[in-house]
Structure 1
Amino acid sequence: MTVVTICAPLSLDPTEAIAMAVRRAGGAAEVRYEPALLPPQRFPADHTGDPAWRRPTQAEQRWQKLLAETEVAFGIPGDSPDGLRALVATAARLKWVQGTAAGTGEQLRRADLPADVARLLTVTSAAGVHARPLAEFAMFGLLAFAKDVDRLLEARDQARWPPRWPMRQLARSHVLVAGLGGIGRETARLCAAFGARVTGLRRRPSAGDMLDGPEIPGVERVVGMDELDDVLRTCDAVVAALPGTPETEGLFDGKRLAMLPSHAVVVNVGRGSVVDAAALVAALDAGRLRGAVLDVTDPEPLPSASPLWRRPNVIISPHTAALTVDEDDRIVQLFAENLERWFAGGRLRNVVNAHVGY
């Protein structure tokens, strides 16, 4: 009997969906979900929970007992590297952790688990769950500046009918999608549907894709890091959908931003650390970029003193573009599918490589 413990606050009861997956696989599991032991959500799909909440002494003892007997954890306590370290230290029988974030790999890397523990532990992420909403946000940003939303809003605020001017099109534009995970693939598909020419950037450009094979729908060409600088010079837009790793930190720095044409737009729906914030501000101030669309920043929250807040050609979402009211349901379904594969001896989806961070 495998003990499965729900370690993250949810807006729904996942036990029936999980139990059905176990039955389909012919397995045996005890699913432990005790909402009273989990911090309340502050908003939909808040898997951290209220940071001010504390368990009473008896509840904390009960919680520690649950963790000590856990073999499969759905969610990381506190949705943080510290929570993962604490979980591993308490749950001696732990074999697999299903994260609720696409960035679970980053949490694993920052947890810096002992090598012997990390080697025996399987960690999976929620990659792909946020692909559609983030791809839609990326398209919103690309369209906003192609159609000069800042000029339109300025004219509206001034009640002024300006002379006509030509707007840009996504059709026949060249978009670089940096990162070809779920978000990047969906963004590429949507860009291609608008008639854009899409180049994809990935760490290993020749690597086949488990879902799509070597060819990715909507992507005309896949390049590696060694070709990035040449590609940037011909791009009308860049959509960064990369994880936060040492390799991607500051990838789009001042030198690379300067390679883009002055009409180019930068969209970041991956991790804030991928785009050098100071270099981005400098490029915008110098008129070397048309605009920027950011769902993520570095740091987060973005300080009120940041000049990014006060620019009409910058659109900022407070890391909320991925959030949808049905996110918990989709993450539960992902976990249920993975649990069915677990009992059937199949390959799990979204297994994190601790060495590369995703």
Structure 2
Amino acid sequence: MPKLVVFAPFAARHRQLIEQSAAGLETVFLSAGLSAETQKAALSDAEIVIGEPEWEAVAASDTLRLLQMTWAGTDKYTRTGKTFPDGIALCNASGAFGPMMAEYAVRQLRAFYPNSFNGQTALILGAGDVGTRTAEQLHEQGATCIGVRRNTTEKEPCFDRLCTLHEAEDWLCRVDSIVCCLPNTPETVGWLNAYRIGLMRQDAVLLNMGRGNFIDTNALTEALQTGRLRGAVLDVTEPEPLPEDHPLRQLSNVRLTPHIAGASFGVSDDTEDRIAAICCENVRRYLQKEPLRNRVL
């Protein structure tokens, strides 16, 4: 019998839904913290896996055909310098984290703008699910939102304007806040460098909940130390975590959080519900030979 292996701490109600979506498969739930060797054994005859098993376990399987992640980011498999195995579809859980991360962004920005977002302009670098949800909340509270994405032809009501990452440089000197939620790509690594930080307004606030390597940490530290920027909220950093003696930890205009903006299992039932729904839908789609949702490879 074909087998589905789950390496994620789903609640009992979600396990039941996964089993229902995988009718006809042997479904096995295992701990996410197993060794690579144990994972290899578990995947040796599995057709579908949900979770984030180690690369070695995925590459060693001759039977695996679908890897459904519970994360939105796929760096673990796509930024390794290795070629992802042929014949295995890789899907992420994009769409599950937007509401929670938007709430995080608005709550953190409130520390710098406690009265109102009315009349402010926000540049949202990454107008996907997370960025769009963030823009919706800010727009509802009176902010003008500029969204950054590759495709600028598909309009969103919450964005007053869309532009490309190249065009975003022209907006840095014109906005009150910059929200970073871009994925890790060669184009985005180090994009917010010393030169571009220097273009930002002195009263601007920077919030990063995308990837730490999007920002030149040394340049940002200097700008915050010298009062060149009003403040920063950093849920992700480069390196991560920051060393205990890093200057950013000592600055009163910096809010650091330990990569929790998109927390899910054991933190947010709503987010876990959405992750489970995506996983169940893709298991069903796979079994019915329908196009998969959120397919990356």
- Aligned-residue sequence identity (percent) comes to 34
Specify the alignment match of 2:79 in structure 1: 110
Match of residue 271 from structure 1: 211
Q: Summarize the alignment of residues 12-51 of structure 1 with structure 2, pairs less than 5 Å apart.
A: 12=12, 14-23=14-23, 28-33=24-29, 35=30, 38=31, 47=32, 49=33
Structure 1 letter corresponding to 2:123 = L
Structure with higher helix content: 1
Aligned partner letter, 2:90? V
Q: Aligned partner of 1:340: which letter?
A: R
The one-letter code sitting in structure 1 at the alignment partner of 2:149 is: R
Q: Deviations over 1:122-143 (max 9, x none)?
A: 1111222221111111111222
Task: Note if 1:245 corresponds to 2:245.
Answer: no
Instruction: Identify the residue that residue 99 of structure 2 maps to in structure 1.
Output: 132
Which of 86, 90, 112 is the aligned partner of 1:145? Answer: 112
The equivalent of 1:199 in structure 2 is: 146
Q: Is the 8 A contact 1:185 1:217 kept in 2?
A: no
Give the aligned partner of residue 260 of structure 1: 200
1:220-248 CA distance string (max 9 Å, x none): 11101221111112111100001122211
- Is residue 315 of structure 1 aligned with residue 284 of structure 2? no
Question: Hey, what's the Cα distance between the residues in 1 that align with 2:42 and 2:277?
Answer: 23
**2:236 equivalent among 291, 296, 303:** 296
Q: 1:30-54 CA deviation, whole Å, 9 max, x = no partner?
A: 2122x4xx2xxxxxxxx5x4xxx76
What RMSD over aligned residues (CA atoms) do the two structures have, in Å? 2.1
Deviates more, 1:281-290 or 1:344-353: 344-353
Q: Distance in 1 between the 2:234 and 2:186 partners?
A: 20
Change in CA separation of 1:233 and 1:54 when aligned onto 2, cut-off 3 Å: closer
Q: How far does residue 194 in structure 1 lie from its aligned partner after superposition? A: 0.7
Read off the aligned partner of 1:7 and give its amino acid letter.
Answer: F
SS in 2 for 1:348: coil
Contact 1:7 1:74 in 2 (8 A): yes
5+ residue gaps, structure 1, are: 39-46, 78-82, 148-166, 207-213, 354-358
Aligned to 1:342: 286
> What does residue 65 of structure 2 align with?
95
Tell me how far apart the structure 1 counterparts of residues 189 and 40 of structure 2 sit (CA, whole Å): 36
Aligned residues: 293
Q: 1:298 to 1:266 in 2, by over 3 A?
A: same
Structure 1 position 13, deviation (Å): 6.6
Change (3 A) 1:219 1:282: same
Normalising by the residue count of structure 2, what TM-score does the alignment of the two structures yield?
A: 0.91
Give the superposition deviation at 1:295: 0.8
Matched position secondary structure for 2:79: helix
In 2, Cα distance between the equivalents of 1:287 and 1:65?
55
Structure number with larger C-alpha Rg:
1
Give the stretch that moved more between structures: 337-346 or 68-77.
337-346
Q: What does the per-residue CA deviation read over 1:10-45, in whole Å, with 9 as the maximum and x for residues that have no partner?
A: 45474421232245xxxx322122x4xx2xxxxxxx
